[in-house]
Structure formats: structure tokens, C-alpha cells
Amino acid sequence: MSPKSVVFKKICKDKSVAVYMGKRDFVDRVDSVEPVDGVIVIDSEALQGRKVFVTLACTFRYGRDDMDVMGVAFRRELYLSTRQVYPPLQDREKGIHTKTQARLLRKLGNNAYPFFFEFPDNLPCSVALQPAPNDVGKQCAVEFEIKAFSADSQDAKVRKRSTVALMIRKVQFAPEDEGMAPSVEITKDFVMSEKPLHVKASLDKEIYYHGEPIKVHVNVTNTSNKNVKNIILSVDQVSTVVLYSNDSYVKCVDIEDSGDSVSAGATLQKDYTLLPLLANNRERRGIILDGKLKHEDTNLASSSIIKEGVLKEVLGIIVSYKVTVKLIIGGEIGLEVPFKLMHPKPDAVKESEMEEEMVFQEFKRSYLKGMADDDEEGNVSGGDDMAPKEK
């Protein structure tokens, strides 16, 4: 059976503009990024002569809105692009870039107009900082948003009731070509010891998927006269905030205190298993997560893969992982083995294989007093229910 063709739908409060999108996740393949496309449906009576615009925005938020001081917001717009959709500036057929758009335009009629954006290749992926359990408000995050609004001009004041916004994500999947399995070794000489201590740590591969155990091979040859009292292994997430400080933060997301010892003149060959999971770190503030859409769960942030030559300063937050092996000998001897933690590339579904019938997932906003404007709640409706719903 062919997969259902799901379309995301959201309407502004005054019913003048609605957004329809065939997907909300857009894949960064390092050398290129999937373009953002969709359809806008307008109500000419509700517009009352106003124009309709669509924007694609990437924002780095590094503080809650209520922390704004003297008009200085704790957020920075990394990218903003605006298109006029209505009245159209080109023939409607020339604005069609995908089969999903073409099908939507046929289904939605003459008041539907396509839009299309291409991502620059230097933007970060969607990530967010895990807040503390008692934190409130919007979290520190890199966010992407499609916003449609009606106004007299692009620079005119925009009314909230004439605006509709839909969060999207920019994501990366594990590349098909995997590098060499990482391996690190070190030889440590000691004062008052004729021979050294040699340690080697290696992994089976460079890329691990979220939820996959990581087997660490440790080989200790202790020809010194020192005793190794303990071996501690950990998976560390390293997040570098390159936008405004270039500071790096290291957070342990899994640890194994083995209690293993290696006496002077002895050797040890042993495999250890680590499993970094968000489920075991939900109470820890400061861990970076993959960006999520509202009401969905997420996971530890995927490793960042950066196109060569791109300025890192505009990437917001760069995430990497390493396995750290520490040998306790009075002090510590440490090895760091880098690896990548990512999602596997999903099986591609060709547009020709999608069912012709569309399932529309509509996001209804609560207009009750005290409810937030941008709360989203997905409701699945049938393929023929295309008209804006009166509430």
C-alpha cells in the first residue's frame, strides 16, 4: 500500500491567509539543502486589498523573551528572506517546483498560490538547549519558521490576526560514506619508572545511530611500576556556541565506572558498552537536543557536519561527541576518541509512489483568553475538507 500524502495546514485568525506544506523537515546534505516549498490560500474578501507575503526565517534564541533588557532581545536573526505571493509577480505555473505543489494547486483552486525558498548552505541545523525542570518560556534554540501575512506592503505594520506561522526543521542524516573506525593510543612515561604505560582505545565505526550501543575496545599494557586503580569511560557531548562567544561546553551523557584495575607489569584487554540516551538525561540542563516540533519528543542533538569553507560564526551551535577513557593512577591519564551520533537516512519515498488522496493535518490555535497565540495542535482531517473551519 502506498504511503499517505500528509499535508500540514494552518490558517491565520482573520481567515485571510492559510499555509499548506507537504513536509516540515528539510534535509541538509552538506553540499545542498532541500528547498522549502508550499502553497498559500488567500481569501480576497478578508484581505480587503492587502498583499500577501511569505518569509523564511532562521533565528538563534539565547535567552527567554522575558529576559530582554532595555529593549535588547536575547535573539538574533541569522537569515530572513521574503517573497510576495499575492498579487503574484509571475505566472502561477512558473512558481510550481514540486509535484506536491501542483497537486495542492489543483485541489485548492484559483485562490491558491505557490511559494518556494532555497536554503543558504551556511545555516545551522535545528537544535535546542534542554531547559531545567523549573525553567519557563521559550528555550535557547536555533529555530526555522515559515510565516505568511497580509499587509499593505512588505514593510508595513503587520497585525497578529493576519499572520500565520509554521515551525519547520533543518535536519542532517548520517552520510552514506563512512570514515575510518576511530582509534587513539597514548604512551605515558613516569618519573622513577624505567618502562611506560601504553593505552589504546578504539571503536568499531565512526558513525553510531541514536539508541545504538557503543562498544569501546580498551587495551592497557602496564610495563611501568605504577598501579592503575580504576578505569572510567564516558560519552561526552561537546557543544560550541560559535555565534557570540565561541565557548565550548562539555556534558557527560553516559558514564561507566568500571572499577577495573591493572597492576604494575600486567595487561588488560576488555570491551565496554556505552549507551547515550536522552531518556537518562532529562533532568540535566544544558544538554543540546535536536530541534523538535511542538508536542513531539526528540533526542540528543545529532553531530554537526559542516560544509568545507563555511564560516562557523553563523552556525549558532556546533555539536560533536567523543568517548573519553580515563585511567586513575593517583592522577588521571585520558584518551578522547571522537565519533558521530546521527539518525540513519530514511528510505526515500518517491512522489510518484504517494497516494493521490491527501490527508490534511490542521493546526488549530486557541483563541481563549490567556492562551498563547502560537500554540499548535495537530488535527487530522479528510482529504476533501479544504475550506477554513469556523470555530
DSSP string of 157-222?
---GGGEEEEEEEEE----SS--PPPEEEEEE--TT-SS-EEEEEEES-SEEETT--EEEEEEEEE
Highest mean pLDDT among 66-75, 96-105, 173-182, 324-333: 324-333
87, 82, 115, 84: which is closest to 101 by C-alpha?
A: 115
E strand or H helix at 12? none
Distances (CA, A) of 52 to 10, 46, 123, 134, 384: 15, 12, 26, 40, 25
Residues 23/9, Cβ–Cβ less than 8 Å: no
For 42-92, the three-class secondary structure string (H helix, E strand, C coil) is: ECHHHHCCCEEEEEEEEEEECCCHHHCECCECCEEEEEEEEEEEECCCCCH
What's residue 345's pLDDT? 81
The predicted model gives 73-98 an average pLDDT of 80
Residues 166/21, Cβ–Cβ less than 8 Å: yes
Domain ranges for the chain? 4-173+346-362, 183-342
Asked if residue 204 has pLDDT above 60, the reply is yes
CA-to-CA distance for 323 and 21, rounded, in angstroms?
40
Residue 306 class from Cβ within 10 Å (0-12 exposed, 13-18 middle, 19+ buried)? middle
The CB density around residue 270, as the number of other CB atoms within 10 Å, is: 13
- Give me the chain's average pLDDT, please: 81
What's residue 133's pLDDT? 64
What's residue 348's pLDDT? 56
Q: How confident is the model at residue 138 (pLDDT cuts 50, 70, 90)?
A: low
Coil, strand or helix: which one is 279?
helix
Q: Comparing 178 with 279, which gets the higher pLDDT?
A: 279
Would you identify the CATH topology of the domain 4-173+346-362?
Immunoglobulin-like (2.60.40)
Q: In the CATH scheme, what architecture does the domain 183-342 have?
A: Sandwich (2.60)
Q: Classify residue 219 as left (phi > 0), alpha (psi -120 to 50) or beta.
A: beta
What's residue 60's pLDDT? 85
The CB density around residue 76, as the number of other CB atoms within 10 Å, is: 14
Residue position matching grid coordinates 540535566: 284
Q: Which three cell numbers stand for residue 362?
A: 490542521
Domains 4-173+346-362 and 183-342 share a fold: yes
Asked if residue 31 has pLDDT above 70, the reply is yes
Contacts of 192 (CB under 8 A, 6+ apart): 225
Contacts of 384 (CB under 8 A, 6+ apart): none
CA-to-CA distance for 12 and 43, rounded, in angstroms?
11
Q: How confident is the model at residue 282 (pLDDT cuts 50, 70, 90)?
A: confident
CA-to-CA distance for 107 and 86, rounded, in angstroms?
18
